Structure formats: C-alpha cells, structure tokens
C-alpha cells in the first residue's frame, strides 16, 4: 500500500509538471495581442480627482482621537527642539495639517518659515535670506530690551552669499541669550521632488546645523533616509524621529502629481498653475498675463516672440531690463507654466501649454 501511495504522488507530480510545460508551449505559440497601453480609454484627471474628493472619509472619530493624542505631546516636541534636535515625522498619511497645528499652537514665540517640498522647485537661497532677516529682527528686539540701544546696521541680506548668511545664522551673539534666540523652519515633504537633489539636501543639512535654527520636517517615501549620509543624519540634521501616522489623505501634496491611468484635465492644470502664480510677485503675474493675453488674441500663432514680450512689458513698466524678464521666464519654465520653441521662420517664441479656456480661467483666478 505504501508503494502504491508513492506511485500515486509521483504520477500526480509528473502530471502537474507536464501540464505546466505544455501550457507554456501553447502560450508561446499563440498570437500575441496587438493591444497597447495607449489603447486604454483613460479617465479624465479632473473627473477622477472629483470622484476621489467625494469619497466619504471613514473612522473620523478614531482619527480625531489619534490627533488629540499627538497634541498631548506638543510640549515634549517643543522641548526636544529647544535642546537642539530636529523633528522628523514619518508614518502613513499626510503630516501637513499636524505640523502646521503644532507650529501655530506651540511655536508662537518663535518665527517660523515654511517650505513646501512637494512643489516642483524651491528657491533655497531665498529661504536662507528669510531666516537671516527673521533672526536679525529677533536680535534687534532682544538687544533693545537688554541694553536699550539699537543694534548696528547690517549689510542687506539679499546681497550676501549663502555661506555668509549661514555664518550669520550660526555665529554666537554676545548681547543676547543664544539658547532662546532661534528661528524655526518647517519642511513639508523634505523628500519631495523639489528637494531631492543632493545639493538641495546638503543645503538643508547646513541650514539645520546652524545654532540659531530648528527644523521640523516630514518624509513620506520609504527610501527617504537614503538621501542622507551618517554625518547629515547625526550631526547636521540631528534628527529626533517621530512615528506619527495620521491616515490623512495627501490632498494638497497630490495636486502636483499626475494620477495613474488618467490624462490631465484642464481644471486641474489651472488649479496647479494658479497656486504657483499666486506664490510669485505681482510683476511676475502681470508678465504672465501679457503672454496669456497675446495667446488668447492670436490663437493661430505658434507663440509670442521673446522680443515682443520684452517690448510690451517694458512699456507697461513691468520689467526694467531683459535680465529681469529672463528671471521671470526662468521661474515660469521651472514650474512648466511657459514653454519655448522655435517657429517655422526660425524665431524663438514663448507659449503657455494650456487650452484657451483654461488660460481664461487661470487669468480670472489670479486677477481676483
């Protein structure tokens, strides 16, 4: 009987193996499908995002209880910052609302600068300039309080190099209590697309290592720690890791990423472009409007020549030189608001990669 059982098992195993190889041979001999991924009927991104926004949230009470439990730790987090550590928050869900609640309720006595790392590009030098200006304001206030005299004049920060600015943020100031004089920097998604480059991470690490700076940041990519070496983690950032899953949707952060199996809708492009434009100066917005008005008035043109744009902007006192216009155009191109191409006559021109109705909506939004 034992032999018969063994024979049965061997026969069953042999049958399985034979069927496997037969199916592989038949599969390879069949005609391959001619269908492509491009043949899929993609959903409009606007419709998909609208449907996602209408999904009813679940477990709201449990999530609120979870947030309350984090609020009870705010005083501890503040103590950690005062001790010289940086707070790094990780865990499933958007930490944006949690960090902003912590900063607005607990860090009220300090100046706070916010970096949205989920944006396509970030100007870190401007961030350093802002930090230096805020620290300078604190120093002037403290020196007036302690000595009754106003501090000496400083060279304008926007004319100084990054190394000089970081030196100012790190150097001791004998007239004030250094332990209590610092500015806070909040970095949403420090692993975001606008900050992933090694140079940006090195700059952030140098900022965090300054004695008058405290950093609060969040990460969402499981591979984010690979951005840093041992010196950056333990010496410069000096992270105090906080596991704070919030289970909150990435509504704001996800606006700048295309959805899978969806083609871009005009409304979503308008919303993204509007957010970027509103963060720029009024002059930059007006330069963009000039280009938009030309594109709406000349829908059949391939684009607006750069020289024509400069002439109109100069007449309207929006720019003082070609260099100023180029800086605006660089900002537009970095955020993919404007693109350039060479016309059939060989002349370089600029155009906005949106449909006319989308451009009209965008102009209406930024004009409000």
- Residue 17: count of CB within 10 angstroms of its CB: 10
**Band (29; pLDDT cuts 50, 70, 90):** very low
What is the Cα–Cα distance from 2 to 316, expressed in whole angstroms? 98
Q: Per-residue confidence at 302, pLDDT binned at 50, 70, 90?
A: confident
Which has more pLDDT, 83 or 267?
Answer: 83
Handedness of CA 50, 65, 117, 260 (dihedral sign): negative
Query: What tokens appear for 368 in the block?
Result: 């409000």
| Residue 178 to residue 146: CA distance in whole angstroms | 13
pTM of the model: 0.61
For the domain with range 263-366, which CATH number is right: 1.10.10.10, 3.40.718.10, 3.40.50.10470, 3.40.50.720? 1.10.10.10
pLDDT digits (tens, 9 = 90+) for 203-242: 999 999 999 999 999 999 989 999 999 999 999 999 999 9
Judge whether 62-253 and 263-366 match in fold.
Answer: no
CATH fold of 62-253 reads Rossmann fold (3.40.50)
Region 44-62: mean pLDDT is 78
Query: Residue 256 class from Cβ within 10 Å (0-12 exposed, 13-18 middle, 19+ buried)?
Result: middle
Which positions ≥6 away from 284 have C-beta within 8 Å? Answer: 277, 328, 331, 332
What dihedral do alpha carbons 66, 67, 71, 72 form, nearest 10°? -10
Residue ranges per structural domain of the chain: 62-253, 263-366
Quick check: 186 and 113 in contact, CB under 8 A? yes
200 with 122: CB under 8 angstroms? yes
Choice between 10 and 264, residue whose per-residue pLDDT is larger: 10
């Amino acid at each position: 009987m034992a032999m018969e059982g063994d024979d049965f098992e061997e026969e069953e195993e042999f049958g399985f193996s034979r069927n496997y190889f037969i199916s592989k041979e038949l599969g390879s001999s069949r005609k391959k499908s001619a269908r492509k991924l491009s043949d899929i009927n993609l959903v409009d991104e606007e419709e998909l995002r609208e449907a996602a926004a209408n999904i009813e949230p679940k477990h709201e009470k449990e999530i609120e209880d979870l947030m309350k439990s984090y609020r009870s730790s705010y005083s501890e987090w503040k103590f950690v910052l005062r001790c010289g550590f940086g707070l790094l928050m990780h865990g499933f869900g958007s930490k944006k609302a949690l960090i902003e609640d912590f900063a607005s309720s607990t860090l009220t006595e300090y100046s706070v600068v916010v970096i949205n790392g989920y944006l396509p590009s970030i100007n870190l030098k401007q961030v350093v300039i802002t930090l230096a200006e805020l620290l300078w304001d604190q120093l002037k206030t403290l020196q007036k309080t302690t000595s009754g005299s106003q501090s000496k004049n400083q060279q304008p920060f926007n004319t100084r190099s990054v190394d000089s600015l970081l030196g100012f943020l790190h150097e001791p100031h004998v007239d004030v209590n250094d332990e209590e004089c610092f500015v806070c920097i909040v970095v949403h998604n420090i692993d975001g697309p606008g900050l992933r480059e090694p140079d940006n991470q090195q700059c952030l690490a140098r900022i965090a290592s300054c004695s008058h700076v405290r950093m609060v940041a969040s990460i969402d990519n499981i591979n984010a720690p690979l951005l840093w070496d041992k010196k950056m983690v333990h010496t410069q950032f000096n992270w105090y890791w906080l596991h704070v899953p919030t289970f909150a949707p990435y509504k704001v952060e996800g606006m700048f990423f295309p959805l899978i199996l969806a083609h871009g809708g005009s409304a979503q492009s308008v919303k993204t472009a509007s957010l970027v434009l509103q963060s720029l100066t009024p002059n930059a917005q007006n330069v963009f409007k000039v280009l938009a008005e030309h594109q709406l008035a000349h829908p059949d043109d391939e684009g607006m020549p750069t020289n024509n744009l400069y002439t109109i902007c100069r007449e309207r006192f929006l720019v003082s030189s070609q260099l100023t216009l180029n800086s605006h155009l660089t900002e537009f191109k970095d955020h993919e608001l404007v693109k350039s191409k060479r016309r059939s006559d060989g002349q370089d021109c600029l155009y906005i990669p949106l449909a006319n109705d989308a451009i009209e909506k965008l102009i209406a939004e930024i004009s409000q």
